[in-house]
Homo-oligomer: A and B are copies of this chain.
């Protein structure tokens, strides 16, 4: 990639995702200017780690960028988005990396005449967060969903898809509503479940009881270590899709409860789960 499509890239929110994008951009496009916008301690750390060429502690840092990536939690991205039309022209491509897509896409559509926006969601993550957890290969071979609307210029979608491929990921177009419905099950419900489980187990057995656990509890609750803030935003912007997802889980657990002493139906559930788990990777 000697002729990158973007020469000045601003990343707003330099945590795990923003930091990993920054590292990957610096490797693929060594001549690009990469501006990180975040609090002072974060951008200083990110620059020392080599993720950024320039830093800013306020949104003025996005001025002049030809690509702006919003990589903060969903609600922060929404707040930032509303300021962008005053800072950028429509030749700048704006995208985000949030885990819910309808809210941001609807907000961006309201600015469509003044802002070129294509929503995005890289399906990559880690139990740890922050710039220190960033990895240059975080997106390699991972799906990266794009959720263009009728307001999104096709040329912008193609440019963004090319950028995402350059980072090693697989761009995948999808309607924002379909994204939110699917991710409610494949990402948000697992997180809610892991957190609810960890809360119940911890508060019931205490620290000494936790000694009596093995890899099962550790694996099942790994994502419960995620920062609360990220997930609170996801819940409030995907409530309608999460309700039926939670309902289905509660229903299944309630059936299991009724069948606990009857080996046939539980065996069926465990077998179904085992077969589906084998289809996962």
Q: Using Cβ atoms and an 8 Å threshold, which residues of chain B touch A204?
A: 185, 245, 248
Q: Using Cβ atoms and an 8 Å threshold, which residues of chain B touch A239?
A: 260-261
Tell me whether A3 is interfacial, beta carbon within 8 Å: no
Contact with A224, one of B186, B215, B276 (Cβ below 8 angstroms)? B276
Those of A243-281 within 8 Å (CB) of chain B: 243, 245-250, 252-254, 256-257, 260-263, 266-267, 269-281
Q: Contact at A232–B270, with CB atoms within 8 Å?
A: yes
Q: Contact at A183–B202, with CB atoms within 8 Å?
A: no
Those of A182-229 within 8 Å (CB) of chain B: 182-183, 185-187, 189-205, 207, 209-229
Closest chain B residue, CB of each to CB of A183 = B212
Report the minimal beta-carbon distance from A97 to chain B, rounded to whole angstroms. 13
Q: In the complex, A215 Cα to B191 Cα: how many Å?
A: 11
Q: Using Cβ atoms and an 8 Å threshold, which residues of chain B touch A123?
A: 212-214
Q: In the complex, A212 Cα to B196 Cα: how many Å?
A: 23
Q: Using Cβ atoms and an 8 Å threshold, which residues of chain B touch A222?
A: 219-220, 277
Secondary structure at the A interface, as helix, strand, loop or mixed, is helix
- Known contacts: A196-B269, A270-B228. The answer to whether A185 contacts B214 by CB under 8 A is no
Report the minimal beta-carbon distance from A245 to chain B, rounded to whole angstroms. 8
Q: In the complex, A198 Cα to B236 Cα: how many Å?
A: 24
Q: Contact at A252–B196, with CB atoms within 8 Å?
A: yes
Report the minimal beta-carbon distance from A11 to chain B, rounded to whole angstroms. 20
Q: Could you list 13 examples of A-B contacts with CB < 8 Å?
A: A123-B214, A125-B214, A143-B212, A189-B197, A190-B220, A196-B269, A200-B245, A218-B281, A220-B222, A231-B266, A235-B263, A236-B260, A236-B262
Closest 5 A-B residue pairs measured CB to CB? A202-B276, A228-B270, A195-B273, A186-B213, A198-B273
Known: A189-B201, A202-B272, A225-B274. 14 other contacts (CB 8 A): A123-B214, A125-B215, A143-B212, A187-B212, A193-B253, A194-B273, A198-B277, A200-B252, A216-B223, A219-B223, A221-B280, A232-B267, A236-B261, A239-B260
